[in-house]
Structure 1
Amino acid sequence: MNLKNIKQTFIETFPGDFSKNPIQRNTPKVLFSTIDPVGFDQPELIIFNEKLSEEIGLGKFENNDLDFLVGNSLPENLKTYATAYAGHQFGNWAEQLGDGRAIIAGEIINELGEKNELQWKGAGATPYSRHADGRAVLRSSVREYLMSEAMHHLGIPTTRALSLSFTGENVVRDMMYSGNPQEEKGAVVVRTAESFLRFGHFELMSAQKEIDTLQKLTDFTIKNYFPEITSEGEQKYKDFFQSVCTKTADLMVDWFRVGFVHGVMNTDNMSILGLTIDYGPFSMMDEYDLNFTPNTTDLPGRRYAFGKQGQISQWNLWQLANALFALIKDEKFLEDTLNSYGTYFWEAHDKMLCRKFGFNELKDTDEEFFSNWQGLMQELQLDYTLFFNLLEKINDISNAKTEFQKISYTFLDEVKLKKLENFLQIYKDRLEKNTISKNESLDLMKKTNPKFLLRNYLLFECIEEINKGKTEMLEKLTKALENPYEEIFPEFSAKRPTNYDDISGCSMLSCSS
């Protein structure tokens, strides 16, 4: 890899009093602290994303690159660092937080002028680790590597993963916070994104009343990542906030499209660029359930359940608005923008559902249609993804009952099957109102509805195999996630097997990593 191309714009833009002291502490009035990766004696490469490496301008993997990928060997020009931010966690103000497991190497710009930050995750403690060790375990690292790439190929804005490596050491974790800590294999992921800036970076500067630094940070963000904004003064910050709102709403609609549930939508886990960031206790939804949350920490309140992600994103934007108020100074603008967020989100959401059903335009009666569909899906416990895949194939409604029984997570009696049959007839009648051909309608569905999703049980199986030194499933999953709108491996396009219903890591997860 061509490591000489890595630059460090952020660290040059925000000079200050920083320390290499790794002791965890508060760092008031500081946006970042320089820190070295801890280094590992016996690392081992598990997988390297050569396509991504070429795309971002690093080139092909060479034998001595492993040392860089685990943070053992750094180019002389790099000052590696971790950033400080704040946030609201589960609705409560958490004050200073920061990159507890992440260390930033710098930024690389490819031949097209596209920027990407490089960041190690799991390479040791930082001043923001809150007395944790800064390491990451294999299971969480595999999940992040594969899922971030899966989201990218689904067409959803996301951070990405360049490499996954064993560290050669064991890490102790209490997976379910049950008082039973166990040793697990440690790992490091190198992840990339245009920027890892979060709502929480702006919240921290606002909370510390560092308004001058807040303005510099916002100006830096606009200049580097929002080139379409050309206005000046307060209008520039208004346009910035409006753009963040739009990007966030579009991301939420994409999550709903594929049934992705983040699990921990704290403000410090919200990207200012509208990217999916920080893959923890996430899940792709199996049976359709608006109340589904994969995060054991989110029980029983289910604050971050699938169906609440739209309203939670709006709540998080309110917190960002509070942070930016010192720059925007227009309460009515912020209120109007946030109040219109729901209108924009639901209109975009319903247009997305139209595409999933093969409708070429949204009609006045569709809101009732979608509401009835949601109720049916929940009652019949139908698999979200497989429902739409099956919908593409149905010709004879009366003979479809058997096929729908196969994608239900419960038994469908005659009453439920009759409800399903009635709905399918309504759907068939609604398709007749399209102003496009049946083939065009089908093409719309196929472009919108994935055939392959990286379900938790598949990740569980893959992690188990890697723990045993096997990579066959990792290779198959990588090929499948690169082609999510095709059915390359039919065995992956199936509902979750019943033997995984109550297995930790398949249906429910914790934040432990």
Structure 2
Amino acid sequence: MHFLGIPTSRAASLIVSDEPVIRDKFYNGNVKTERGAVVLRLAKSWFRIGSLEILSQSGEIDLLRKLLNFVIDEHFSSINSDDPDKYLVFYSTVVNETANLIAQWMSVGFAHGVCNTDNFSLLSITIDYGPFGFMEAYDPGFVPNTSDDEGRYSVGAQANVGLFNLEKLLNALSPVLSKHQQNQAQRILKGYANINQMRIHQHFKAKLGLLGEEEEDGYLIAFLLKMMEDTQSDFTMTFRQLSEVSAQQLHNRKFPQMWALEDLSSHKLFSDWLGMFLLRLSRQLNDSDLQRQNRMKNVNPRYVLRNWMAESAISKVEMNDFSEVELLHHILSHPYVTQETAEEAGYAARPPLWAKRLKVSCSS
């Protein structure tokens, strides 16, 4: 996630032990013994929305105020500690940055898996990686967590879950806000959806190489995503391959060996969308096709950590072979650059059929 440009905690080390750990991955009684492992993660802060909720709900208001002051002084340097509205400014910042973070998740097809208030950072960074996943076939209902039967945390629901969590944050802050400040905070919260939608719009415009703003841009993006959903086109590779073909190749419908674009082009309305897209590009003054391609390559990764790639590496680690872990670490440190070793490993190829059978849970 860091190398994708998304705010996140970092992994400092991974230690594998010979100590056995009993796992019931899918909570069905099918217990399996695995080797224990510890990941040491680093972040500027591990305080999350739940850290404030627990103090507010237990009536520990003095401690709540002390914690807020500490977090603001340590991590929100732009907020004046003497400002009588500092808690309101803090809330406004968290609302804005949470909207931005979730838009960034959506731009790479990332589903966190468990988006409760205990897993949402006050610094709006990605923390608490559990049953997460990157979309393969585009599907707003994609749920990586097999325990999430209702799809509460599906990739397409994350923005609404963010709103729910920010409502909980406002409830937690209410004891330290005046009535007037609470009303202002409510207005700030009402602006969350627009901020998130605007950021998503900006990200997807960049993914298509669009400059400026035209009235039809939102429709062009929505049209593409609907075709991708209908054809089950791969999210990552559809955008990447659009960045790797020239406008002339698109016009001629010639994109050999580009499997994701071939899937997309099977849609009966593909020609209609393509015509709109090429016409939109043609109106971009002082912009060459090569410049457009380079811009798109810089925001559309060729490689993301797909679950089947992780599973392949895990299977080798169980036999004391860490070669694929090291390979993934190297490749995913440069996700926007085409790499020969990654191509040989099939990391940009059509996912294997067995990948569809993979499931993850909080115990995976």
1:484 aligns with 2:331: no
Tell me how far 1:328 sits from its aligned partner.
2.0
1:256 aligns with 2:110: no
Per-residue CA distance 1:437-459 (angstroms, 9 max, x = gap): 12332222111111111111000
Give 1:500's match in structure 2, choosing from 352, 355, 359.
355
Per-residue CA distance 1:374-403 (angstroms, 9 max, x = gap): 211100110011111211233323434765
Per-residue CA distance 1:439-481 (angstroms, 9 max, x = gap): 3322221111111111110000001101100011111111101
Report the identity percentage. Answer: 34
Q: Tell me, yes or no, if the aligned pair for 1:318 and 1:338 is still in contact at 8 Å.
A: yes
In structure 1, C-alpha distance between the alignment counterparts of 2:84 and 2:59, rounded to whole Å: 18
Give 2:117's match in structure 1, choosing from 246, 250, 267.
267
Q: Tell me, yes or no, if the aligned pair for 1:234 and 1:327 is still in contact at 8 Å.
A: no
1:454 aligns with 2:315: no
Counterpart of 2:130 in structure 1 is: 280
State the secondary structure of the residue aligned to 2:147: helix
Counterpart of 1:354 in structure 2 is: 205
Give 2:249's match in structure 1, choosing from 392, 396, 400.
396
Q: How many residues align?
A: 354
In structure 2, C-alpha distance between the alignment counterparts of 1:179 and 1:200, rounded to whole Å: 31
* 2:95 aligned partner, one-letter code: C
Tell me how far 1:281 sits from its aligned partner.
0.6
Per-residue CA distance 1:211-237 (angstroms, 9 max, x = gap): 100000000000011111115354100
State the secondary structure of the residue aligned to 2:74: helix
Give 2:294's match in structure 1, choosing from 437, 443, 447.
443
State the secondary structure of the residue aligned to 2:244: coil
* 2:206 aligned partner, one-letter code: R
Q: Tell me, yes or no, if the aligned pair for 1:293 and 1:304 is still in contact at 8 Å.
A: yes
Tell me how far 1:184 sits from its aligned partner.
1.0
Give 2:63's match in structure 1, choosing from 202, 206, 213.
213
State the secondary structure of the residue aligned to 1:391: helix
* 1:287 aligned partner, one-letter code: A
Q: Tell me, yes or no, if the aligned pair for 1:297 and 1:510 is still in contact at 8 Å.
A: yes
Counterpart of 2:284 in structure 1 is: 434
Counterpart of 1:242 in structure 2 is: 92
Tell me how far 1:179 sits from its aligned partner.
1.2
Counterpart of 2:235 in structure 1 is: 384
Structure 1: which 4+ aligned runs deviate by more than 4 Å? 401-404
Q: How do 1:115-130 residues align onto structure 2 when only pairs under 5 Å count?
A: none
1:318 aligns with 2:167: yes
State the secondary structure of the residue aligned to 1:172: strand
TM-score in terms of structure 2 length: 0.93
TM-score in terms of structure 1 length: 0.67
In structure 1, C-alpha distance between the alignment counterparts of 2:313 and 2:213, rounded to whole Å: 40
Q: Tell me, yes or no, if the aligned pair for 2:249 and 2:255 is still in contact at 8 Å.
A: no
State the secondary structure of the residue aligned to 2:298: helix
In structure 1, C-alpha distance between the alignment counterparts of 2:285 and 2:120, rounded to whole Å: 39
In structure 1, C-alpha distance between the alignment counterparts of 2:36 and 2:253, rounded to whole Å: 51
State the secondary structure of the residue aligned to 1:167: strand
Q: How do 1:218-229 residues align onto structure 2 when only pairs under 5 Å count?
A: 218-229=68-79
Q: Tell me, yes or no, if the aligned pair for 1:360 and 1:441 is still in contact at 8 Å.
A: no
* 1:498 aligned partner, one-letter code: L
Gaps of 5+ in 1: 1-150
Higher relative contact order (CA 8 A, sep 6+): 2
Q: How do 1:46-125 residues align onto structure 2 when only pairs under 5 Å count?
A: none
In structure 2, C-alpha distance between the alignment counterparts of 1:355 and 1:266, rounded to whole Å: 30
Which is strand-richer, 1 or 2? 1
Tell me how far 1:436 sits from its aligned partner.
4.2
Tell me how far 1:331 sits from its aligned partner.
2.5
State the secondary structure of the residue aligned to 2:85: helix
Per-residue CA distance 1:11-62 (angstroms, 9 max, x = gap): xxxxxxxxxxxxxxxxxxxxxxxxxxxxxxxxxxxxxxxxxxxxxxxxxxxx
In structure 2, C-alpha distance between the alignment counterparts of 1:403 and 1:294, rounded to whole Å: 28
1:200 aligns with 2:50: yes
In structure 2, C-alpha distance between the alignment counterparts of 1:272 and 1:320, rounded to whole Å: 9
Task: Give the CA RMSD over aligned residues.
Answer: 1.8
In structure 2, C-alpha distance between the alignment counterparts of 1:242 and 1:436, rounded to whole Å: 38
- Choose 1 or 2 for highest CA Rg: 1
Tell me how far 1:496 sits from its aligned partner.
1.5
